[in-house]
A and B are shown apart, each in its own frame.
Chain A
Amino acid sequence: MSENIIELKNVSFAYNENKQILTDISMKIPYGKIVAIMGGSGCGKTTVLKLISGQIKANSGKITAFGTDITRANNKTLEQIRTKLGMLFQFGALFTDLSVYDNIAFPLNEHTKLNKTLKDIIVAMKLESVGLSGTQELFPSELSGGMARRIALARAMALDPELMMYDEPFTGLDPISLNTIAMLIKKLNDNLKQTTILVTHDIPITMKIADYIYFMSNGKVIAEGTPKEISVTENKSVQQFINGEVNGPFAYKYNSNKSYDYYLGRESI
């Protein structure tokens, strides 16, 4: 058995011929580790998660998840793989017409035949694990951003997935909520022997909890290594990102294009 739960080999993806998102990226996610994918907005981090969860298909390359090549998998195989993974979306993606209890019980209702008593126990345990016991009757509209994300985390954990993927879980949170979520990610990964993929641009937290970091820019992996290695890398793009510098290889300005030149009267269409 491979020591990696997920492997991406020379993967490229484009929504259409004018919009190349990922170019020839390769990644290895070992069992039991927290692997962070970092990079500026729009560099293709979330697309990697979508490819791993089978929401979109790679144009070329190979993605192996749990030992199965998902680039060639049929829907049934994909469904089986998805039951082994959980995903926390950027803003939680809780079902707004369902209560907290029903949100967490949703995967249990869909994939198990557990009786109500057992479901109640599991939901209570998951709520306890994210520190929100007693909120089961609330609706998503009654929760703060941080609470909603913790409930979404409880829902993603309902079936005890082997792999957890977090899509920018720290965005828009106050420092207390941010540290709470980070602590939860670390605790759940270690206690439940899970594997974690963390997509984020929060540098201090990532340096603290990640075991390995892939750094992306313009749809390519430009650096990789342990937090220590990344923090001392000489790659200018990484250094610019870590230090938050305005000037550097990361373009601040959007590239001028034909229609803009036409607008300025520089060119005729």
Chain B
Amino acid sequence: MKNLIQSIGRPFSSFILMLGETSMLLGKIILSIPYILKRPQLIIKELFFSGVLSIVIIAVSGWFVGMVLGLQGYNTLQRFGSVSVLGSLVALSLIRELGPVLSAILFASRAGSGITAEIGLMKATEQLDAMNVMSVDPIKRIIAPKFIGGVISVPILTMLFNTCGILGGKFVGVNLLGLDSGIFWSQMQDSVNFHADIVNSIIKALIFGIFVSLISVYQGLSSKPTAEGVSSSTTKTVVHSALAVLALDFILTAFMF
């Protein structure tokens, strides 16, 4: 009986412990901001790794998602004689939902997993200990720049995803299926509101960026210093990030739209 209660309680206590540790880590990162501001080159390096190197996967994925939306939308709307609103459908689907969600998940898969693996390996090879002994706080020098780089990158990548997606949808709807270009763009312009849609999309992406980056650095720091430990943490980063993004998306959508 005691074992049963323990086995039920253990995951809950682990989850609470993880939440506490993550919150403390976030607090330490925020306290590191003055240090980071004096060394912008640390963030620029992380922006390159997390943001610039993710451009291709984000742009190509956005393009294909937009093409699929254009194709599916055109076929469905044609049945109701409403092909003219294809531009609105593609743009709103991307800006409100698919752009922020898929960008964050793609970011977690490409950059987030990389961040976790790098920190995990630094821990396993005693690089973080070496930094500590040199009286350099790894949170300030390594963790905070990676976190901030991620938080800045995700909204920008989301805007890129949205842009490529809209161009992909336009390519299928207008160039391949023959919808009038003027109708496509004017319908989109009419239905997309800057504050309600685009600003909210950026806010969503920013919040996803905070969560995904925090999960990535936390998993790296808490990984066991073995090959298996680093591998497990990398997997956890992608899984936890995807779940967090999808759950948060529901909550944010309920409040925003």
Taking chain A's interface residues, is the majority helix, strand, or loop, or is none over half, making it mixed? mixed
Interface segment among B65-73, B74-82, B122-130: the answer is B122-130
- In A123-152, the 8 Å CB interface with B consists of 152
Which residue on chain B has the smallest CB distance to residue A103?
B130
Complex Cα distance, B134 from A111, in Å, reads 9
Q: Does A24 make an interface contact (CB < 8 A)? A: no
- In A52-87, the 8 Å CB interface with B consists of 53, 55, 78-80, 82-83, 85-87
CB–CB A93/B134 < 8 A:
no
- In A87-145, the 8 Å CB interface with B consists of 87, 89-91, 93-96, 106-107, 110-111
CB–CB A107/B134 < 8 A:
yes
* CB of A89 to closest CB in B, whole Å: 5
Chain B 135-155 near chain A by CB (<8 Å), digits 1 or 0: 110000100000000000000
Question: Per a CB cutoff under 8 Å, which of B122, B126, B127, B135 touches A90?
Answer: B126
Note all chain B residues with C-beta closer than 8 A to A78: 135
Q: How many A-B residue pairs have CB under 8 A?
A: 45
* CB of A106 to closest CB in B, whole Å: 7
Note all chain A residues with C-beta closer than 8 A to B121: 96
* CB of A189 to closest CB in B, whole Å: 18
Note all chain B residues with C-beta closer than 8 A to A95: 122, 127, 130
Complex Cα distance, B130 from A86, in Å, reads 9
Complex Cα distance, B134 from A35, in Å, reads 21
Complex Cα distance, B132 from A107, in Å, reads 11
Task: Determine which residue in A86, A110, A111 has the highest number of CB atoms from chain B within 10 A of its CB, and name it.
Answer: A110
Note all chain B residues with C-beta closer than 8 A to A152: 130
Chain B 45-81 near chain A by CB (<8 Å), digits 1 or 0: 0000000000000000000000000000000000000
Note all chain A residues with C-beta closer than 8 A to B125: 91, 93, 96
Question: Per a CB cutoff under 8 Å, which of A55, A83, A86, A96 touches B127?
Answer: A96
Which residue on chain A has the smallest CB distance to residue B142?
A95
Chain B 110-134 near chain A by CB (<8 Å), digits 1 or 0: 0000000000011001110110111
Question: Per a CB cutoff under 8 Å, which of A79, A83, A89, A111 touches B130?
Answer: A89
Complex Cα distance, B138 from A93, in Å, reads 14
Complex Cα distance, B141 from A208, in Å, reads 40
Question: Per a CB cutoff under 8 Å, which of B122, B129, B141 touches A55?
Answer: B129
CB–CB A93/B136 < 8 A:
no
Which residue on chain A has the smallest CB distance to residue B126?
A93
Question: Per a CB cutoff under 8 Å, which of A83, A91, A94, A96 touches B135?
Answer: A83
Which residue on chain B has the smallest CB distance to residue A98?
B127
Note all chain A residues with C-beta closer than 8 A to B130: 87, 89, 93, 95, 152
Query: A-contacting residues of B (Cβ < 8 Å)?
Result: 121-122, 125-127, 129-130, 132-136, 141
Query: B-contacting residues of A (Cβ < 8 Å)?
Result: 53, 55, 78-80, 82-83, 85-87, 89-91, 93-96, 106-107, 110-111, 152
Q: A80-B135, A82-B134 are in contact. List 17 more A-B contacts (CB 8 A).
A: A53-B132, A55-B133, A82-B132, A82-B135, A86-B133, A87-B133, A89-B126, A91-B126, A93-B125, A95-B127, A95-B130, A96-B127, A107-B134, A107-B136, A110-B134, A110-B135, A111-B135
